[in-house]
Structure 1
Amino acid sequence: MANFTGVAVSILISLTAFPLVELVTTDSSLSAPLPLMLIGFGLLLLIALTLKFVLPQKCVEEQGKDAVEQRGFVYYTCCLFMWACTSDLCLQIRNHELFGFRKNTKYFEHGEAYLVTPLGIFAQFWNGIINYILYVIIIYQIDNKKDSRYSCLYWSGGILTSQFVVLVGAFTGSYSNKLEYSVWLNAVFVFLPLWILQHCWVKPRPVAKNFTRENSSFPVLDLFLCTGLVLASVFGLIRGLGALGSQTPLIKYYVEAYEPYMLESSKYGAVWPMYVAIYGIPFQLCAIYGLLHPGCQWMLNCSVVYAAGMLQVNVWFLITKLAC
């Protein structure tokens, strides 16, 4: 029988974010910049300890311990981040006066002002809805002894990409002179996903069959994919140079004619193409190698992490630019 205990408890605890966020952001003394950061870290610690108490680790046999994730660091991180997702959702619901809530923007005024940009708004809604669902899936998989490796890799690839885009834009763009202490809360949402990414990446897996070019079924498809990856790398390089402000006529024309948002002072339009150039091009070249040399076990891990980041932020930019 399926075990929904962890999911149910995590959902109930995550709902406490609504009254807590309401209390902190309504009181003027609590919502001042420094208290806001200290309360944020304090609440994260309190919720983490509560989760550890109400969802204790289970004694497990050593056999198969490496193959299936048990309640531990990954599990409690997902439970804690569910509470953070609800906090993000609460902040944007109050910001947009949804469901009858009265408007409250104190967190953005005294905390992370860059989250009122179209990208920041969409990032918080994505975290509050899509990432929340991913946490539910991972918690369910762990409680029911299912392999959560690729769910964790997909989630960590997505959240690390979003953190890079949002934070680099915040520190380099027009909002860099409005940063308050609360920006340091993001350290939790960078270092914990990084640890989980590393943990799932090196986690032992069943021995895979060794493939060779002779038993590859789709050499034509491989060639097609390699060509597409080369073209994507060239295109990514052009966009990356454009984001850096290259005055090369071709690149300058492309930016002004097709992606003028790269020139925005908030820098969010420029950070994403730079990320694709820095992270995407090396992966695409490694993927070409993997296609030419079948059997690379790291290829699947890379593909999952890459797909998560590319899908997430491309959807962000598509929706935010269409909405604007």
Structure 2
Amino acid sequence: MRPPAEVRVFLLSLLAPGVLYTMNNIPALQEPLPILGMGMVILGSVLLILLLTVQHKTKVDPLFYAFAELSFFCTVGLTNALEQGGFISGFMDFYIQMGEPHLSSAYAVMMSYWEGVVHFILFLTIIHRMFARKCYRSLSLLWTGSSIANQIVLIPGVVVGKYGSNIRPAFWRNIPFFLVPFWAAFVLFSRQRQMPIVTADKITAEQKKSLLSRPVDLLLSLLLLAAMAFSVFRGFVVLDCPLDTCFTYIYQYEPYLKDPVGFPRVMMLVYFFYALPLLTVLIYGLKTPGCSWMLDWTIFFVGATAQTQWCHIGASLHSRTPFTYRVPADKRWPVITFNVLLATVPMVLALRCHSDPAYFMNPVPVGETKNEKKKN
């Protein structure tokens, strides 16, 4: 009897530390080009093994191969996080020196923990549900939001930050990891959404209510407006706005924003140029009935904000961040509170949309409502 697909993927992923340890002890594989070459060989080998493990299946979702392949690299990320934290040694030295030096930064360590724990659990859960013929679209969207946010901060951050002058060939192995989440998001958003069953009467009644008569939605709209204001403010801060308020904030509250690694600056600009329009659209969805897309985009946004805020908060407090760029001890709690709220508000919004989705369902014609009453 074959073990379940998620077990096979889990066991395959456990080979990653062994591969890293072997490469770390073979000098011939510790040069920039051989590291990139071995990375491509490993990528292809893992894909080949995955094809062999599911060849008996008549129909396999192409997303399975992406999720299973990335599961292998999640354990690579976790290995890096544990080694940079001093828990293990002898696995990543060669790769940090000759492959991707930025992986030793505080931001990359927090990113590696997120990939090695959160993404890995998500992948195994999704694969389990995939072969159990259960819905996995929402969990997959959660991952796409998280992964896309990660990549659009990581890659530009490396290029524009202090590691930009020391980019090695292995850095370009990030290209497929950059493209795959966008492809997965396109596939998932193009698939039909499974809508919950809600009676036409309830949909009609909910959609007649104004925003003022829905206190929870009103509060969420105000919180989203506050998140927009905070995103605009920090965007101005990293753009070197000369206002005294911006100067005070970056030097007394979040000096990490001027860390030369580049990641915090890029992240604030991502919030400014990408999260800000999305927050505006989400406020529109709370005000306008029948915006069924809210059920998908709130989950996507949760993944993005959770990942970015985890990395940002963790890196701003991490010992690998120079002391002068860490959050001052006397300002730690207000800064952490604001950043945690920035990640929590999208979660509360997604929970609200999915726990009572009637307001976001497509409006039901009046004649259809009457026919339903007659049937009952």
Answer yes or no: is the 8 Å Cα contact 1:97–1:103 preserved in 2. Answer: no
Does the alignment pair 1:113 with 2:101? Answer: yes
Give 1:103 shift. Answer: 6.5
| Range with greater deviation from structure 2 (51-60 or 205-214) | 205-214
Mapped contact 2:236–2:246 kept (Cα < 8 A):
yes
Residues 205-235 of structure 1, C-alpha deviation per residue, up to 9 Å, x if partnerless? 2456655531579622222222222222122
- Cα drift, residue 18 of structure 1: 1.8
Structure 2 letter corresponding to 1:49: L
Q: 1:228 to 1:147 in 2, by over 3 A?
A: same
Counterpart among 75, 88, 91 of residue 86 in structure 1: 75
Structure 1 residue 313 corresponds to structure 2 residue 308: yes
| Number of corresponding residues | 311
3-state DSSP of counterpart to 2:27 = coil
After TM superposition, give the deviation of residue 57 of structure 1 in Å: 6.2
Q: Which moved more, 1:174-183 or 1:269-278?
A: 269-278
Q: Aligned-residue CA RMSD in angstroms?
A: 2.1
Instruction: Return the offset for 1:182.
Output: 0.8
Pair 4,194 (structure 1): closer, same or farther in 2 beyond 3 Å = farther
For residues 250 and 120 of structure 2, the distance between their equivalents in structure 1, rounded to whole angstroms, comes to 35
C-alpha change, 1:92 and 1:323, in structure 2 (3 Å) is closer
- 3-state DSSP of counterpart to 2:230: helix
1:27-46 to 2 correspondence within 5 Å? 27-46=26-45
Could you report, residue by residue, the CA deviation over 1:157-180 in whole angstroms, capped at 9, with x for unpaired residues?
111111222222111001101110
The code of the aligned residue for 1:44 comes to: L
Kept in 2, the 8 Å contact 1:96–1:103? The answer is no
Deviation at 1:6, TM superposition (A): 0.3
Does the residue aligned with 1:146 lie in a helix, a strand or coil? coil
- Tell me the equivalent position of 1:133: 121
Q: How many Å separate the matches in 2 of 1:158 and 1:205?
A: 20
**1:11 positional shift:** 1.0
Would the aligned equivalents of 1:4 and 1:140 in 2 still touch at CA under 8 Å? no
Cα pair 2:21 2:91 within 8 Å, conserved: no
Query: Cα distance 1:135–1:191, how it changes in 2: closer, same or farther (>3 A)?
Result: same
8 A contact 1:233–1:284 mirrored in 2: yes
Range with bigger deviation, 258-267 or 168-177: 258-267
Contact 2:21 2:90 (8 Å CA) reproduced: no
Structure 1 segment 35-184 matched on structure 2, within 5 A:
35-56=34-55, 58-59=57-58, 71-99=60-88, 101-102=89-90, 104-184=92-172
Deviations 1:260-302 (A, max 9, x none): 1111111122122111112211111001110111221211211
The answer to whether residue 1 in structure 2 is matched with residue 13 in structure 1 is no
% identity of equivalent residues: 23
Equivalent residue for 2:282, pick from 272, 278, 287: 287
Return the alpha-carbon distance in structure 1 between the equivalents of residues 147 and 91 of structure 2: 27
User: Which string of whole-angstrom CA distances, capped at 9 and with x for unpartnered residues, describes residues 21-45 of structure 1?
Assistant: 1122322221211111111011101
Aligned pair partner of 1:214 in 205, 208, 211: 208
Deviation for aligned residue 1:92? 3.6
Q: CA deviation at 1:96?
A: 4.3
Which residue of structure 2 aligns with residue 271 of structure 1?
A: 266
Give, in whole Å, the separation in 2 of the partners of 1:239 and 1:146: 41
Matches within 5 A, 1:296-311: 296-311=291-306
1:252 maps onto 2:241 in alignment: no
Unaligned runs of 5+ residues in structure 2 are 320-376
Q: Is the 8 A contact 2:103 2:109 kept in 1?
A: yes
Q: Determine which structure has more spread, i.e. the larger CA radius of gyration.
A: 2
TM-score normalised by the chain length of structure 1 = 0.89
Q: Report the CA distance shift for 1:47/1:104 in structure 2 as closer, same or farther (over 3 A).
A: closer
Q: Secondary structure at the match of 2:135?
A: coil
Aligned match for 1:198, one of 175, 180, 186 = 186
Change (3 A) 1:202 1:282: same
- Which position in structure 1 is the counterpart of 2:349? none
TM-score, normalised via structure 2 length: 0.78
TM-superposed CA distance for 1:255, in Å, is: 2.1
Counterpart code for 1:55: V
Supply the distance in 1 between the matched residues of 2:101 and 2:214 (Cα, whole angstroms). Answer: 51
Residue 10 of structure 2 aligns to which amino acid in structure 1?
I
Gap change, CA 1:234 and 1:45, over 3 Å in 2: same
